[in-house]
Amino acid sequence: MDPTRKNVNLYKKVHALVIESTAASFPPGVDTSRIVVEPPRDRSHGDWATNAAMVMAKEVGQKPSSIAASTAASLRQNEMVQKVEIAGPGFINLSLKPHVWREELRLVLETGKDYGRSEIGKGEKVNVEYVSANPTGPMHVGHGRGAVFGDALANLLAFAGYNVTREYYINDAGAQVDVLARSVFLRYREALGEGVTIPDGLYPGTYLKAVGEQIATEYGPPLKSKPENEWLPIVRAKAVATMMDGIRDDLAALDIHFDVFFSERSLIDGELDEVSATIESLRKSGEVYEGRLPPPKSGNLEDWEDREQTLFKSTDFGDDVDRPLKKSDGSYTYFASDIAYHRSKVARGFLNLIDVWGADHGGYIKRMQAAVKAVSGGKAELDVKLVQLVRLLRAGEPVKMSKRAGEFVTLREVVEEVGRDAVRFDMLYRKNDAVLDFDLVKVIEHSRENPVFYVQYGHARGQSVFRNARNDIPELPETASARAAYLEQAPLERLIDAGELSLLRRIALYPRVVESAAAAHEPHRIAFYLYELASEFHAHWTRGKDLPHLRFIIQNDRETTTARLALVEGIVTVLASGLSLLGVSAPDEMR
């Protein structure tokens, strides 16, 4: 295959054609970057729609209707175009000839698993930080949603040509890890035979018993006689390390792995206090000062202190109020540590930052984006994706709490019950900022109402078509790459049925869906697209049950059969690719 053809998908061809047709009557050098080409929401309006006339009107000082007329006239001259219509004040809808869709299928066969791969990222470094759960216990289902979202987003960005680093921020320097250490110390004493009661404010989960037993084995009774300032650092380090081992195991059950685990404590315990250095750097650049904050407009004075304090000028970057960096006891605020952490990302060469946070952190976004602007001199961008709550149900009823964790159902329990694929797909089959109802019964149903089953069944059904086809075409290869190469020569002009052409159109949308999902940082678009493709495939297969001439395998008609097998190959190729981006398997059989 010509290597230059690999990334020239149909969307890029049509986009280039629209720009060329629109700019044909304009002076050279006119900016056409705002021209967008998208599939229309209503497929009866055509295959593609463009706003070219609307966005160029002001640019060139002409009426949209005039630009639309000249663009449409130029488009009609192209051999790809079947029909062009002007709608409303200047939108242009165009339909393509059937041979164009068939040619795109041939590109799918030639490129295989690389179909839809994009270069829009141009190798730019992107840091995606996700999960970052406090190392105080097992991961719960809410953590799992953030983990799945971040991992799928990282997969998507890498497929779109970005150089992605997956990062986990270990919150091991705050007050919560001292609470963890004190909780573990009680379990250590319990392991030594003492009777203990877990007071309010400490972690009661039985998962800490094992940590206490490990410390008892390693240090024995002498540790309990030491003062707190001596045993606390020892117990804290052991507890955090053990909790992180458990978190890594929980993530591995979802096939989630990180490139970097960054310790918050390393910011203050290293050779240089990075938090202090960050504050002083911002002070020199005029973005940190000593001052007083006015009372909050809300009237809530609970957390407000009328005192001279160290403040970050976040209002200079669009925040509502300047933010404190030190507490009244002189210790750093969480915000100060977070600024230093993001400064380290910039220092490591990341100017494109994505953080995945829980929904309860929404009020923190503006100040963090302000801080990133400040520490990067305005060069870095931070996009924060909020992940909403997960309501865990069983047949519509709320699930009771976990015996092991004490306060929540652990992620590991859910993965072990329903499987990795069900967890990953279902958590991505809804926009990240919408609350998710995760029903442990419904996600393993074998029905159309269960999206992961329906999409995986589409891939398995395609593989069953190939197995059945070998009765008539015994030389049909079994491996995907060899089979696609064999089917490249199929007479695709035999694909003439409306359902076949509709499937070809759906397949050809995949590269555009990948690029738009990557640009918007929205992996759920891939899940939605896969369900639509699988649904259309199943519907066409069902039509063949009632109309034998539409079946994929036509005895004594080898040319039609191979053409339709090529169509099935295109479908399973895209289904497998999209499922891979979501971190979900593409089975050859469903049992």
CATH number at residue 546: 1.10.730.10
Whether residues 81 and 197 share a domain: the answer is: no
Whether residues 70 and 186 share a domain: the answer is: no
Query: Does residue 501 sit within a domain?
Result: yes
Domain that holds residue 20: 3-96
96, 112, 139: which is the final residue of a domain? 96
Q: Report residue 26's pLDDT band, with 50, 70 and 90 as the boundaries.
A: confident
Q: Check pLDDT > 50 for residue 139.
A: yes
Whether residues 461 and 572 share a domain: the answer is: yes
Mark 174-189 as b/e (b = at least 16 C-beta within 10 Å). beebebbbbbbbbbbb
Summarised one tens digit per residue, pLDDT across range 85-110 is: 999 888 999 999 999 999 999 999 99
Query: Does residue 345 sit within a domain?
Result: no
Are 61 and 46 within 8 A, CB to CB? no
Cα distances (Å, whole numbers) of residue 583 to 338, 420, 448, 580: 30, 9, 21, 5
81, 96, 111: which is the final residue of a domain? 96
What is the average per-residue pLDDT within 268-276? Answer: 88
Query: Does residue 182 sit within a domain?
Result: yes
The pLDDT value given to residue 6: 56
Whether residues 455 and 561 share a domain: the answer is: yes
The pLDDT value given to residue 123: 98
In 403-450, which residue ranges form alpha helices assigned H by DSSP? 411-418, 420-428
Whether residues 461 and 577 share a domain: the answer is: yes
Rounded CA-CA distance 309/325 in Å is 8
Percent of the chain topping pLDDT 70: 97
Query: Does residue 217 sit within a domain?
Result: yes
Query: Does residue 168 sit within a domain?
Result: no
Strands 125-129 and 163-170, by their bridges, are: parallel
What is the average per-residue pLDDT within 249-264? Answer: 97
64, 96, 128: which is the final residue of a domain? 96
Query: Does residue 126 sit within a domain?
Result: no
Query: Does residue 33 sit within a domain?
Result: yes
Q: Tell me how many domains the chain contains.
A: 3
Q: Which pTM does this prediction carry?
A: 0.94
Whether residues 81 and 183 share a domain: the answer is: no
Query: Does residue 12 sit within a domain?
Result: yes
State the amino acid at position 423 in one-letter form: V
Are 220 and 200 within 8 A, CB to CB? no
CATH, residue 71: 3.30.1360.70
The pLDDT value given to residue 88: 86
Whether residues 463 and 566 share a domain: the answer is: yes
Whether residues 556 and 463 share a domain: the answer is: yes
Provide the 10 A C-beta neighbour count for residue 31: 12
Rounded CA-CA distance 511/570 in Å is 13
The pLDDT value given to residue 368: 96
Strands 48-50 and 91-96, by their bridges, are: antiparallel
Mean pLDDT of the chain, nearest integer = 93
Whether residues 462 and 555 share a domain: the answer is: yes
Summarised one tens digit per residue, pLDDT across range 523-553 is: 999 999 999 999 999 999 999 999 999 999 9
Reduced DSSP (H G I as helix, E B as strand, rest coil) percent helix, strand, coil of the chain, to 5: 55, 15, 35
